[in-house]
């Protein structure tokens, strides 16, 4: 499955036309034009005629060591936003509303796989919000692979897949299931497109979520009487022992973790 790629100069003209159609302010359009023109010159210096995520990252890195250094000036933020907009238009053919200025680390081979995944989402009539969430998840996956020395789909190993799944432990159960679902579809898709020899989606580790028994939030009067009587029996001997040393002969009951509702 191949996606049509626009020449960078054609892409910039189309993106500027989109800015005008969406009635962006003159300052925003001027900043986008200046940024994208500078980026085009940068790409020409490296004999690149198409938009590439890696070239965009190098462009921002050469300007102000981004993302290692995150400048707080308004001009720098505008440049970063303009580059994100150009990347969105290259992928989706439109601008996405997002405050995330992170430039993801990826490669050309991974970008082809990501574009194929996005095309599949469009064929399935996924919403723009769903596609955007999937895109961020895919970039997290590919960035994890690149940071571990993998630049092509064919070099992905089961160990790297397991490491990525293990990194999701900080997510909630629902978020983990969504991320693993995207990973599984991504791995299966690159296998169908002959970008990898083994279908790694079949060996993704299963996630086990232990069912913890939650405390009762609604207690009957009998439950409360049983608890209080148990606490009283256990604390009265201790209170008498303390009284010999001048302490008061009463015990303070601990506050329950959950509110007690008498029914």
pLDDT digits (tens, 9 = 90+) for 129-147: 788 888 889 988 998 898 8
Mean pLDDT on 27-53: 91
148 and 189 fall within a common domain: yes
pLDDT digits (tens, 9 = 90+) for 182-218: 999 999 999 999 999 999 999 888 777 666 655 566 6
Which candidate, 24, 105, 79, 91, places its Cα nearest to that of 51?
A: 91
Q: Tell whether the torsion through CA atoms of 95, 193, 202 and 163 is positive or negative.
A: negative
Among residues 54, 73, 101, the one where a domain terminates is 101
Report the distance separating Cα 89 and Cα 10, nearest Å: 12
Among the residue ranges 27-36, 98-107, 236-245, the one predicted with the least confidence is 236-245
Mean pLDDT on 39-67: 87
pLDDT of 2 = 40
33 and 95 fall within a common domain: yes
pLDDT digits (tens, 9 = 90+) for 218-258: 677 887 777 777 765 655 555 554 444 454 444 444 444 44
87 and 5 fall within a common domain: yes
122 and 160 fall within a common domain: yes
Statement: residue 71 has pLDDT above 90: no
Q: What is the pTM for the complete model shown?
A: 0.46
180 and 133 fall within a common domain: yes
Q: What residues make up the domain containing 3?
A: 1-101
Report the distance separating Cα 202 and Cα 219, nearest Å: 46
Specify the number of domains making up the chain. 3
pLDDT of 213 = 57
Bond from prior residue into 67 cis (ω within 30 degrees of 0): yes
Among residues 212, 235, 252, the one where a domain terminates is 212
173 and 224 fall within a common domain: no
118 and 183 fall within a common domain: yes
Residue 86: CATH number of its domain = 1.10.150
Extract the tokens encoding 132.
Answer: 């955007």
Note the helical H segments in 72-154.
74-92, 108-123, 128-147
Phi, psi of 247 (to 5 degrees): -80, 160
pLDDT of 67 = 67
Cα–Cα distances in Å, from 69 out to 102, 142, 186? 12, 22, 31
Mean pLDDT on 114-133: 88
- List residues bridging with 261 in a β-sheet: 218
52 and 111 fall within a common domain: no
203 and 223 fall within a common domain: no
Statement: residue 96 has pLDDT above 70: yes
pLDDT of 245 = 47
Report the distance separating Cα 134 and Cα 128, nearest Å: 10
195 and 227 fall within a common domain: no
Residue 102: band (very low, low, confident or very high) from pLDDT cuts 50, 70, 90: low
Instruction: Note whether 117 and 189 are within 8 A (CB).
Output: yes
171 and 248 fall within a common domain: no
Residue 199: CATH number of its domain = 1.10.150.130
27 and 126 fall within a common domain: no
């Amino acid at each position: 499955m191949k996606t049509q790629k626009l020449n960078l100069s054609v892409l910039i003209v189309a993106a500027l036309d989109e800015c005008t159609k969406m009635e962006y302010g003159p300052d925003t359009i001027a900043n986008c034009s200046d940024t994208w023109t500078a980026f085009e010159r940068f790409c020409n210096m490296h004999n690149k005629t198409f938009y590439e995520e890696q070239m965009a990252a190098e462009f921002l890195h050469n300007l102000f060591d981004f993302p290692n250094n995150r400048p707080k000036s308004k001009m720098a933020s505008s440049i970063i936003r303009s580059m994100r907009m150009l990347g969105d238009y290259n992928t989706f053919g439109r601008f996405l509303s997002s405050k995330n200025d992170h430039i993801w680390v990826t490669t050309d081979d991974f970008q082809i796989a990501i574009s194929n995944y996005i095309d599949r989402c469009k064929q399935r009539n996924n919403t723009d919000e769903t596609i955007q969430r999937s895109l961020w998840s895919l970039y997290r996956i590919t960035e994890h692979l690149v940071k571990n020395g993998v630049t092509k789909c064919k070099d992905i190993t089961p160990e790297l897949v397991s490491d990525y799944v293990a990194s999701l432990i900080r997510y909630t159960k629902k978020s983990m299931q969504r991320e693993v679902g995207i990973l599984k579809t991504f791995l299966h898709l690159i296998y169908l497109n002959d970008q990898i020899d083994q279908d790694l989606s079949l060996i993704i580790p299963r996630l086990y979520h232990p069912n913890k028994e939650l405390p009762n939030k609604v207690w009957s009067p009998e439950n409360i009487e049983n608890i209080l009587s148990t606490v009283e029996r256990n604390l009265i001997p201790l209170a008498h022992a303390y009284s010999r040393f001048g302490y008061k002969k009463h015990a303070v009951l601990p506050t329950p973790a959950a509110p007690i509702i008498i029914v």
